[in-house]
Structure 1
Amino acid sequence: MTTVKNTAVKQRDIVEQIRARAASDGDGVKLKRVFGGERPERFDPFLMLDEFGSDEAADYIGGFPPHPHRGFETVTYMLEGKMEHRDHMGNVGLINDGDVQWMTAGKGIIHSEMPKQTEGKMRGFQLWVNLPAKRKLIPANYNDIDGAAIPMYAWDGLQLKAFSGKTEINANAVTGYLSVKDTEALFVDIHLQPGAVADIALTNGHNALAYVYDGGVTLGEKQVVTRAQTLTRFSGNGNVVIQNKGKNVARVLMLSGKPLKEPIVQHGPFVMNSSKEIQQAIADYQAGRLAS
């Protein structure tokens, strides 16, 4: 079995573990809500993570018809399937297996996300990343990222896809496709072969989350056994160590970011810093000004 490198570095404690729960969104799309809603400051700067996945077209075919957003960013990562994005700015993009869409809603965007398939497997994730108060009303922006352009790494029985941020894993530098302002968001998909270990260096004070979506792993010095569809939130200082002691490949999304430490007020697709700003977002949407 691969040994953990740099064992002198403190490992983060596990603060809580959450099981993803069944939910639906859009036009009846069945999904798993990993986290989001109650006490959002726990995950700061992240707001929500959904996992969607089914090989039954009825579970996803309704998609997500036109809807608004303001005040944060959405990150859609497709494992399998085809999803088309359209927005009020005239952007049209198709994300396929392995592709990522990073969308900054900012002041406001109205978009749709609709399946471009009527059969077969569709599986992926959507992550919401908060914006600081000073940037909540910046112009909307849309970025389609081809899966082939996303940095990939392999060593010590690990395969990595690095979407954003910087870190070291087993003392090897990892740099994501994007650098995210203010939150310094780290988003990495880690695949661990049986026996593999990932020792992930993180900035002290940054919040850290790990979501196991396939297989099972052990986490931290206490070797906490963690199965698929479980989110783990860690304490604020030290590294995160993930080990695969099983017989199958384990797949984990690793998230870390600088907390904004600002009030979080959410009303559906709007995330602002006060109730007054939420009321303004609703009024702007109703008056057709949200995305102007």
Structure 2
Amino acid sequence: MSLRPVLETRSSTPTLEGAGVKLHRAFGFQDPSELDPFLLFDDFRNEHPQDYQAGFPWHPHRGIETITYVLAGTVDHSDSLGNSGTLGAGDVQWMTAGSGILHQEMPEGNPAGQMHGFQLWGNLPSAQKMTAPRYQDVQSKDIPEVIDDDGTTVRVIVGEFWGKTGPVDGIAADPQYLDIQIPPGVKKTLRIDTYRRAFAYVFEGQAAFADASQPTGILLEKEVAGQEVNIRDMSGNRTLVRFGTGDEITVQAGPEGVRFLLISGAPIAEPVAWHGPIVMNTRSELEQAFRELRNGTFIQPAH
């Protein structure tokens, strides 16, 4: 077994998206090879309805897949193909935009006004850029959850883990998407396929990842994977941890425990031409997509 080194830890950045939704972006619109096949990751978490209710009105996508995971509140969605529905707490939607889709996503808070969810963008390989669009809406009750003897809990959204397989399938990047909760003070080693790019996103509590140059701070010194690591307090959570190659990670939960997403996927390793919500392989393909948006031929006829 080989421990994956931590290449980088960084805090997500406040930004505005859609019609003025306040969110935090962990990565996106920078170097698309950094976490290939993933392009962007947003954490939309708000306590005040005025910060999110304007939502994400009608907008296009082509050449990518968007993965929306809701933790609190709801998201109403509808699209140019006539689909509509509501994602509730714990639900997931995996949308394959393929050849092109227009859709809108409108968040609504829970009774306390809280809204929390994540959106991840996955790239599509050139052979699937113009595939027919599709949705996979998965209810929380259909997502398997496994609990280890030490109290570690894992929701398996996509991929296989600890003998359970997530309900979302047929995804180009062959990803693994896990929601992991580790109790206070527990040290855990988790397997990841060697050939996948991988990152963790800490969103509750604190933890230290082995071999981290800037661990995502617990407040005392701990030994992780046989090494003394310098643990320091970090401001808040919303921390991205980007891993190098290897087949496992080791994480030490802090005094309040930790909850994080662990996401990995097979790199596509193709050229990326990207502008806004459209991601193609060449500049000419990108220009064609925007021409079609202007002249009304963006939505491809069903075959």
1:133 maps to: 126
2:274 maps to: 266
Scaled by the length of structure 2, the TM-score of the pair is 0.88
Pair 1:109-2:118 in alignment: no
Pair 1:241-2:264 in alignment: no
Q: How does 1:137-216 map to 2 (within 5 A)?
A: 137-155=130-148, 156-167=150-161, 172-216=162-206
> Are residues 283 and 252 of structure 1, via their aligned partners in 2, closer, same or farther at CA, if it must alter by over 3 Å?
same
Q: Deviations over 1:60-99 (max 9, x none)?
A: 0100000000001000010100110000111111001111
- 1:222 & 1:147 partners in 2: Cα distance? 33
CA contact 1:164–1:180 (8 Å) conserved in 2: no
- 1:117 & 1:237 partners in 2: Cα distance? 40
| Paired residue secondary structure (1:30) | strand
- 2:258 & 2:197 partners in 1: Cα distance? 22
- 1:189 & 1:222 partners in 2: Cα distance? 21
Q: What letter matches 1:73 in structure 2?
A: E
Pair 1:40-2:32 in alignment: yes
Identity of aligned residues (%): 38
- 1:184 & 1:220 partners in 2: Cα distance? 26
2:265 maps to: 257
> Are residues 51 and 197 of structure 1, via their aligned partners in 2, closer, same or farther at CA, if it must alter by over 3 Å?
same
Tell which deviates more after alignment, 197-206 or 184-193. Answer: 197-206
Q: How does 1:17-36 map to 2 (within 5 A)?
A: 17-36=9-28
Q: Deviations over 1:28-85 (max 9, x none)?
A: 0000011111111010000100001111111001000000000010000101001100
Q: Deviations over 1:150-202 (max 9, x none)?
A: 111111221111111124xxxx3342222344411111000111122332211
2:62 maps to: 70
Tell which deviates more after alignment, 154-163 or 79-88. Answer: 154-163
Q: Which runs of 5+ in 2 are unaligned?
A: 218-236
- 1:174 & 1:12 partners in 2: Cα distance? 23
Q: Which runs of 5+ in 1 are unaligned?
A: 1-8
| Paired residue secondary structure (1:144) | strand
1:92 maps to: 84
CA contact 1:100–1:147 (8 Å) conserved in 2: yes
- 1:162 & 1:234 partners in 2: Cα distance? 20
Q: Deviations over 1:185-238 (max 9, x none)?
A: 111000111122332211212111011111111112468521521111111222
Q: What letter matches 1:254 in structure 2?
A: L
- 2:213 & 2:270 partners in 1: Cα distance? 34
- 2:129 & 2:216 partners in 1: Cα distance? 36
RMSD value over aligned CA atoms? 1.6
Q: What letter matches 2:146 in structure 1?
A: Y
- 1:272 & 1:12 partners in 2: Cα distance? 31
Q: What letter matches 2:158 in structure 1?
A: S
CA contact 1:212–1:253 (8 Å) conserved in 2: yes
- 1:154 & 1:121 partners in 2: Cα distance? 27
Q: Deviations over 1:120-146 (max 9, x none)?
A: 100110000111100010011112110
Scaled by the length of structure 1, the TM-score of the pair is 0.91
CA contact 2:8–2:214 (8 Å) conserved in 1: no
How much has 1:117 moved relative to structure 2? 4.7
Q: What letter matches 2:152 in structure 1?
A: L
CA contact 2:8–2:213 (8 Å) conserved in 1: no
CA contact 1:191–1:249 (8 Å) conserved in 2: yes
Q: What letter matches 1:162 in structure 2?
A: V
> Are residues 99 and 265 of structure 1, via their aligned partners in 2, closer, same or farther at CA, if it must alter by over 3 Å?
same
